[in-house]
Each structure stands twice: as structure tokens, then as C-alpha cells.
Amino acid sequence: MRRHAVLWSMIVLALVMLVPFFIVALNAVKTPDEYSTGGPLDLPSGISLDGIIAFWERVDFGEKLLNSVVISGSVAVLAVVVSVFNAYALGIGRVKGRLWILVVFLIANTLPQEALVYPLYFLANEVGLYDTKLAVIIIFTVIQAAFGTYLLTSTLGGFPRELLEAARIDGANKWQTLVRIVVPISRPTLGVLFVFFFIWTWNEFFLPLVLLISNENQTVPVALGVLQGQRMMDATMTSASALLGVIPAIVFFLIFQRALTRGITAGAVK
């Protein structure tokens, strides 16, 4: 049966994609001795949660988790809002020179982050935002919104004009049109953006490493870096920390992935 052939090939693909996660989990529950004698790929003799517990306590993981949620959550919300505004003007408003405006916005996405480090450090230090979560939130809001602006401008370009026309005839102004018509209909895309922004920000490492110096401000990936010594790596604890770091992002994705499937009706608007 062809359908089943497709199903099975997809299942095989999914399993292959998951192999590295399996290896992470495997090493997260090993003892350091088991890792040293058997290597990363041997099965452990039992489940040891010591590495996970030790890492949690060593870096005060609860605090890091909260920091990451605050930063990623704020960025995801703010970047979606900024993207909607931008794309409303560019995609539906079709303002003059929109192609060039879009290119300018996309600089945020094209500029390698290394190039931003020294200037952003300098500016943040000048305005007193160095070593604050707010600085990181603002920066990633802009960087993520560049992508959001581009994606939304693309999709809003094909927005059904009749709906806008109808709203205008009903006497809605631009703000009302945006809030009542454009945003609800674009919700599936906004949901996708929200999920992406959250996860991308969650995994950002380099700028938080440089800008969030105090332990009380650090995010999960930065805390993970504590385990990479000068010449040593504690592989079991690294795996344990990876597992801890990845679980919240997976949970988040699974919760919100319903948002990705819900909006089938949007296409039905004629």
C-alpha cells in the first residue's frame, strides 16, 4: 500500500532524526565512570540522576530557566508585534520604496553577530543596560523581527483585498483594520513566528554570553558553557545539562505546535 509506504518512510525518517537525542539522554543518565570506561555509546548499567541533580544545583538551574523563559517569551511577543506593524505597512500599505525598506530591515538578519558585539557592548554600557536582560530582549526583538517582517510582508502581499475593502466600507480606520481583520486572519502565521522566535532566542548563545555577565542574569545555554573547562569537558554532566536545557524547549514546542495546525480555516477565506 502506497499510503503505508509513505507512513513508514516518514517514521523511519523521524527515528533517524531522533538518534542524537537518544544519545544525549543515554549519556545524561550515566555515571562519569561508566562514560570513561565505556565511552559515549555504551549502554549504562542503570539510570543515574546524579549528573542532572548536580548540574541543577551547581548553576542554580531554576533561576536560569526563569531567565530564559522571561527573555525568550518577551522577545517572542514583542518581535511578533513589531513584525506585524512593519509588515502591515509594507505588505498591505505597500508604502513607497518598500523593497528598499525591507532590505534595510533585513540588515538585522544579515549582519554577522560577531560584528555587533563590540558596538553593542559599548552602547549598552553607555546607556547603563550592560548586564541586564532588557538589553538582550531589545536586541533579539530587533533581530527576530527582521525575519518576521520579511515573512509577513511576503504572506500579507497576497492578503484578500476584498476583506480590506469591506472593512473600509464599514468605516474601520487602519488601526481597526489591522486589529480586527489582518491579525485574526494571519493568526496561523503569527503562531509559527511566535514559536520560532521563542526557540531561536532560547538557543542564542553568543550575545547573551557577552552581554549577560552576572550569574543571576544568565540563560540556559550560557550556563551550559560553565561545564566547558579550559582543557576538560565533563561529558556526562554536559549531556545531563543538555537534556535539562532541551526539555523546556521541546515542551514549549509541543504545547504550541497546536497553534501551527489550528488555522486551516484561514485558507478558506474567499
- Report the residue count for the chain: 270
Q: How many CB atoms lie within 10 A of CB 241?
A: 29
Q: How far is the CB of 64 from another protein (least distance, A)?
A: 12
Could you say which residues in the range 211-240 bind another protein, by CB under 8 A? Answer: 213-217, 220-222, 224-235, 238-239
Query: Does 6 help bind another protein (rule: CB under 8 A)?
Result: yes
Query: Does 3 help bind another protein (rule: CB under 8 A)?
Result: yes
Contacts of residue 180, defined as CB under 8 A and 6 or more positions apart, other chains included, come to 167, 172
Grid cell, residue 119, equals 558596538
Nearer to another protein, 46 or 158 (CB): 158
Q: How far is the CB of 62 from another protein (least distance, A)?
A: 14
Helices (H), 111-233: 113-126, 133-156, 161-169, 174-177, 183-185, 187-203, 206-211, 220-225
- What whole-number distance in Å separates Cα of residue 195 and Cα of residue 193? 5
Nearer to another protein, 47 or 128 (CB): 128
Q: How far is the CB of 29 from another protein (least distance, A)?
A: 15
Query: Does 172 help bind another protein (rule: CB under 8 A)?
Result: no
Q: How many CB atoms lie within 10 A of CB 63?
A: 14
Q: Which residues pair with 233 in a beta bridge?
A: 228
By rule CB under 8 A, what count of residues binds another protein?
153
- What whole-number distance in Å separates Cα of residue 189 and Cα of residue 264? 11
Q: At 97, phi and psi to the nearest 5?
A: 65, 30
Could you say which residues in the range 74-103 bind another protein, by CB under 8 A? Answer: 74, 77-78, 82-83, 85-86, 88-90, 92-96, 99, 101-103
Query: Does 261 help bind another protein (rule: CB under 8 A)?
Result: yes
Query: Does 109 help bind another protein (rule: CB under 8 A)?
Result: yes
Identify the residue among 43, 47, 115, 171 touching another protein (CB under 8 A).
Answer: 115
Nearer to another protein, 29 or 222 (CB): 222
- What whole-number distance in Å separates Cα of residue 5 and Cα of residue 7? 5
Could you say which residues in the range 19-58 bind another protein, by CB under 8 A? Answer: 19-21, 23-24, 32-33, 35-41, 58
